[in-house]
């Protein structure tokens, strides 16, 4: 900013550098005022006139919470209703029919469990699933979770092959796996070091 000689020279001095008391550039000043005005509008718009008690104002419900709820509701409206119906109860299945469905899933070319764990679950690429030693846990919940996520870095895709199973099917195949506890198939895969979790009896 040039000086038109009307501005007084300020009396401070930094290594010989002096400065005039120039007024701020207009564009800068107006920008600054604009931010002040915006901050007031912002506070009123988002924080003051946003609660449910202020519905009568034209601002509507603009709080973060309200916007979040609205987006979640909109997303839910887009999702198809679950074909599986209500969530399945996480309880071990022991009836013959469910276990034989689990066995079918285990040996199906859709989910490929048998290709890595063998049809008798004695283990091959994947670990033996019939003895008391586990890597990732032996509770029904843990097994369901492990089948769901798989261990992709070890070669097991989610649901074995990446082909999704319904919650009910997961429960069937996990229950089937657990029903093979103690079956002692011939020539099982030797116990891996990582199988350190020991489970005895029912899980
Ligand atoms: C491509 C090979 C492969 C397929 C297919 C596969 N698995 Fe696995 N599975 C593995 C490997 C390898 C591991 C060991 C993961 C590790 O080392 O962490 C494993 C681990 C597991 C475990 C955890 C064992 C433990 O000791 O905690 C369960 C349970 C299991 N598999 C069940 C299944 C079921 C059920 C299916 C079919 C839906 C399936 N697997 C399909 C290779 C496979």
User: Which atom of ligand 1 is found nearest the CA of 105?
Assistant: 38
User: At CA 83, angle to CA 79 and CA 84, rounded to 5?
Assistant: 120
Residue from 107, 126, 166, 193 whose mutation best tests the ligand 1 pocket (most atoms within 8 A of CB): 126
CATH classification code of 96-198:
1.10.760.10
- Whose Cα sits closest to atom 10 in ligand 1? 126
| CA of residue 154 to ligand 1 center, whole Å | 9
**CB of 110 within 8 A of CB of 161?**
yes
pLDDT in tens, 152-201: 999 999 999 999 999 999 999 999 999 999 999 999 999 999 999 998 76
Residues 165, 13: Cα–Cα separation, whole Å: 77
**Global pTM?**
0.65
Question: Which of the four pLDDT bands, split at 50, 70 and 90, describes residue 4?
Answer: low
Q: What is the mean pLDDT of the chain?
A: 85
| CA of residue 183 to ligand 1 center, whole Å | 18
Both structure tokens of 169: 């099917």
Phi, psi of 14 (to 5 degrees): -115, 100
pLDDT in tens, 106-118: 999 999 999 999 9
- Whose Cα sits closest to atom 16 in ligand 1? 154
Residue 34 clears pLDDT 60, i.e. is over it: yes
Residues 140, 202: Cα–Cα separation, whole Å: 10
């Amino acid at each position: 900013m040039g000086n038109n000689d009307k501005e007084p020279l300020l009396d401070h001095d930094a290594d010989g550098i002096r400065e005039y008391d120039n007024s701020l550039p207009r564009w800068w000043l107006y920008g600054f005022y604009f931010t002040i005005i915006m901050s007031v509008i912002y506070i009123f718009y988002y924080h003051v006139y946003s609660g449910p008690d202020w519905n009568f104002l034209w601002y509507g419900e603009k709080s973060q919470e309200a916007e979040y709820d609205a987006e979640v509701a909109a997303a839910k409206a887009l999702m198809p209703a679950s074909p599986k119906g209500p969530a399945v109860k996480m309880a071990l299945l022991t009836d013959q029919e469910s276990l034989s469905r689990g066995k079918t899933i285990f040996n199906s070319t859709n989910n490929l469990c048998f290709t890595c764990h063998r049809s008798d679950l004695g283990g091959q690429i994947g670990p033996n699933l019939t003895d008391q030693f586990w890597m990732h846990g032996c509770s029904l919940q843990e097994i369901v979770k492990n089948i769901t996520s798989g261990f992709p870095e070890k070669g097991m895709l989610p649901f074995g092959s990446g082909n999704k199973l319904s919650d009910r099917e997961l429960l069937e195949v996990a229950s089937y796996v657990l029903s093979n506890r103690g079956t002692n198939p011939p020539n099982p895969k030797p116990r891996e070091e990582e199988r350190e979790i020991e489970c005895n009896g029912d899980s």
